[in-house]
Homo-oligomer: A and B are copies of this chain.
Amino acid sequence: MTVSLAEIREQSGEVFTDGCPTRVVLDHIMSKWGVLVLLALTDGTHRWGELRREVEGISEKMLASTLRTLEADGLVVRTAHPEVPPRVDYALTELGHDLMEHMLPLVGWVARESDGIVGRSAD
Mark A29-66 against chain B: 1 for CB-CB distance below 8 A, else 0: 11110011001101110000000000011000000000
Q: For A75, what are the chain B residues with a Cβ–Cβ distance below 8 Å? A: 117
Mark A89-113 against chain B: 1 for CB-CB distance below 8 A, else 0: 0000001001111111111111111
Question: How many interface residues does chain A have, given as a range?
Answer: 35 or more
Q: For A120, what are the chain B residues with a Cβ–Cβ distance below 8 Å? A: 72-74
- A residues with a Cβ closer than 8 A to B are 1-6, 8-9, 11-12, 15-18, 20-27, 29-32, 35-36, 39-40, 42-44, 56-57, 72-75, 95, 98-121
Q: For A95, what are the chain B residues with a Cβ–Cβ distance below 8 Å? A: 113, 116-117
Q: For A117, what are the chain B residues with a Cβ–Cβ distance below 8 Å? A: 21, 25, 73-75, 95
Closest residue of B by beta carbon distance from A115:
B21
Which of A35, A44, A110: most chain B CB closer than 10 A?
Answer: A110
